Each structure stands twice: as structure tokens, then as C-alpha cells.
């Protein structure tokens, strides 16, 4: 082998090694960003309509509430509680691990804080014995994948701290529209979906109160959205399926 060939081979080997280093560094950076800063989530159900729709993709800030073992990939049992803990505010849209199944992520709205008393009466939310302000607004109209239009009664709900958002409530006598009073224990939160008749949340024993440790982060921005029934990676369908009016929408 000539000296020239040896130099070419060395350069080729060095180029491959450099490429491998770049890939490894990129993977480490991606893991750090996902673990410490922002984690992407997509919406698989309609429990948060109309705020979040099936086919929405969003970023959740991991640092907003600090870090627990559930902030780490595979949730290793390295420590308990939270470090650099932040306090959720009433009305936040939060992602959390289901208390009874830590492999499942849920996304709901923070309704009850530690010490609060929460109750549903005739479809109206009550916090600490006071009815939350609720005003009727225009119907939410959606088109099903089959082409049918459905109108659902929509209301503007305003929490005691001034956070306001739209909820859907088909009937005031749904399965969880009349409940006993829930007393939120210390270190826990009461979560509810905005689609009140189609949300499995803290009103049901399968979810219950959410421990502070189970919080993953706060939903910050909706960065991508496609029609229900469309896969996000089907880029050739984007001209027809992208929900352009929902792209890069803040969720505060």
C-alpha cells in the first residue's frame, strides 16, 4: 500500500469516527433536552376538547414543576419526591403519570390544589363550597372522520384565580356531573378534562388524586396538528390534513 493510500484510509477512518462522535453527542443532547427541558407529547383522546384535539402535538416543560423520578427515562427509583420543585397553578394543563399505572401518561387540567374541596353539582364545578363561574357560549362543532357534523354545548369556565377556558358539557346529568365532595390531600392535585362528559379523571377511582411526584410537566405550546385519523409522519397528506390555525399555539 502506498503512502498516499494509507493517508486516504486514515482520513476515511477519521471521518467515520468523527461522524460517530457527532451522532453520539447529538443523542446525548437530545436525551438531556427531553429529560430536563422539553418533552414532546401527542394527544390520543378527546378528553381535553376543545383545548386539545386528537392529532395535536405539543411540548411540555419538564422544569416547570421541578424533577421527580418520573422525569427520567424509564423512571428509575433513584430518589423520592421532587427536586427544584415548582408549584402548579390552578388551571395549568399538566402531564402526569397515572397513579395506578406509572407506565401511562395522562394530560388534564389542574383544578384542585392541596387542601381544596372539589365537587360537581348538576355539571357545575364547585371549589371550596363556591360555584365556579360558567357562561354558555356557542356550540363546539366538529366533523367526524365519517363526515358527520356534531354540535356539543360549550361553556366558558373561569377559575377563582382568573384562569378562563372553554369546556364541553353535553348534559348536566352525566356520569360524573354529580359527585360527593372530594378533599384534596396534602401533596396531591385534582385533575379534570375539559370535555367533562368524556374524561376519565380525578372524579373516578381509576385516576383519583394525583401525587405531586407523578407530575411530569406543564403543557406549553402546541407546535403541530393534523386531522383526526391522520398520522403525523404522513407528510404527503399535510396540505390537506394540517390544522394550520393550531400550529404554534401557546397553551397558557
47 is catalytic: yes
133 is catalytic: no
Contacts of residue 191, defined as CB under 8 A and 6 or more positions apart, other chains included, come to 94, 96, 106, 108, 109, 110, 111, 112, 201, 202, 207, 210
Catalytic residue among 49, 62, 108, 225: 108
- Classify residue 60 by burial, with Cβ atoms within 10 Å: 0-12, 13-18, 19+: buried
Which grid coordinates belong to 134?
A: 360558567
- Which among 175, 164, 234 has a CA at the least distance from the CA of 201? 175
Contacts of residue 48, defined as CB under 8 A and 6 or more positions apart, other chains included, come to 93, 107, 108, 109, 193, 194, 195, 199
Catalytic residue among 47, 68, 71, 202: 47
- Which positions are annotated as active-site residues? 47, 108
Amino acid at each position: 500500500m502506498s503512502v498516499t493510500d494509507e493517508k486516504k484510509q486514515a482520513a476515511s477512518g477519521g471521518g467515520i469516527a468523527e461522524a460517530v462522535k457527532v451522532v453520539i453527542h447529538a443523542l446525548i443532547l437530545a436525551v438531556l433536552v427531553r429529560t430536563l427541558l422539553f418533552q414532546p407529547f401527542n394527544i390520543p383522546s378527546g378528553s381535553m376538547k376543545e383545548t386539545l384535539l386528537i392529532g395535536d402535538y405539543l411540548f411540555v416543560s419538564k422544569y416547570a414543576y421541578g424533577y421527580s423520578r418520573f422525569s427520567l427515562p424509564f423512571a428509575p427509583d433513584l430518589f423520592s419526591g421532587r427536586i427544584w420543585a415548582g408549584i402548579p397553578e390552578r388551571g395549568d394543563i399538566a402531564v402526569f403519570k397515572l397513579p395506578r399505572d406509572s407506565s401511562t401518561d395522562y394530560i388534564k387540567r389542574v383544578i384542585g390544589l392541596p387542601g381544596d374541596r372539589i365537587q360537581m353539582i348538576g355539571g357545575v364545578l364547585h371549589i371550596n363550597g363556591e360555584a365556579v363561574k360558567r357562561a354558555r357560549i356557542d356550540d363546539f362543532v366538529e366533523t367526524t372522520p365519517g363526515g358527520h357534523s356534531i354540535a356539543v354545548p360549550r361553556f366558558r369556565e373561569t377559575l377563582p384565580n382568573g384562569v378562563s377556558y372553554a369546556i364541553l358539557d353535553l348534559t348536566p346529568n352525566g356520569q360524573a356531573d354529580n359527585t360527593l365532595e372530594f378533599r384534596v390531600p396534602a401533596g396531591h392535585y385534582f385533575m379534570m378534562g375539559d370535555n367533562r362528559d368524556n374524561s376519565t379523571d380525578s372524579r373516578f377511582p381509576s385516576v383519583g388524586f394525583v401525587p405531586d411526584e407523578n407530575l411530569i410537566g406543564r403543557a406549553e405550546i402546541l407546535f403541530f396538528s393534523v386531522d383526526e385519523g391522520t398520522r403525523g409522519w404522513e407528510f404527503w397528506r399535510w396540505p390537506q390534513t394540517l390544522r394550520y390555525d393550531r400550529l404554534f399555539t401557546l397553551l397558557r
